[in-house]
Amino acid sequence: MRKYSVLAGLLLLVGGAAVAQEFPKVETAPTFMYIRTSPNLTNAYVVNGQTVTGSNSLNCAGGGGTLAYNLTSMFGIAADLGGCKIFGNTLGLGNTISGSQFTYLFGPRLTFRNFGKFQPFFELNFGGDRAALTCQSTAVKCLTTAGSGTYSKNAFAMTVGGGFDVKINKKLAIRLIQAEYLYTRFGNNCAAQICNNNNNQNNFRLKSGIVISWGGGS
């Protein structure tokens, strides 16, 4: 009789654990996105007789979304797309450069669902980044080195980081913050003079939004 009691207790524990391991199969997350880009300029260039050097940064704000498919309660695969508009800084040229960035990334995600409504996650993504810049100045260097003042290129990109969600109910959660290191490699073979020796860029990406869950598994 004692053996059956022990077995019944184990079954109850396993059943409780199974309930605790329920998770959504699909999660979609529309978010606000901010990228701080560091062009990592390693050479000087001249605009209207003025020498410009250093690693001036660009700000880029916009939005995007993530579609994640969860294979288990902890492990999932995510696709991350986002676009933003460059503003604020212009590589030492004053407010003369406008443009955009579009990131397309894919990779594994680990989500820890054992903390109640608080659910931290970590992910590693690989893909690309498309940058498009337009010069709005009559500066000779700006117009002639990029041909008609426009420039665009795709490059390898990688992100590593994480964040946390706060569940509101079974279907909805708030993604309070997602902070990531964004690595891009635009190389040193672009047409503009400022790209010389610019092999890689160390950037920062910040996201925040909502999470909508679909389906369920255990």
Please provide residue 108's backbone torsions phi and psi, each rounded to the nearest 5 degrees: -80, 155
CB atoms closer than 10 angstroms to residue 128:
15
This prediction has a pTM of 0.75
Q: Which residues of the chain have pLDDT under 70?
A: 1-21, 39-56, 88-97, 135-149, 187-198, 217-218
**What domains does the chain contain, in order, with CATH numbers?**
23-214 (2.40.160.20)
Residue 161: predicted pLDDT = 96
Contact in structure between 110 and 121 (CB atoms under 8 Å)? yes
Which 3 state secondary structure label does DSSP give 140?
Answer: helix
Written as one letter, the residue type at 117 is K
Residue 70: predicted pLDDT = 95
Strand-pair partners of 169? none
Residue 39: predicted pLDDT = 66
Q: How far apart are CA 38 and CA 24, in angstroms?
A: 37
Alpha-carbon distance values, 173 to 11, 69, 93, 140, 177 (Å): 31, 16, 42, 51, 12
Residue 76: predicted pLDDT = 96
Residue 153: predicted pLDDT = 82
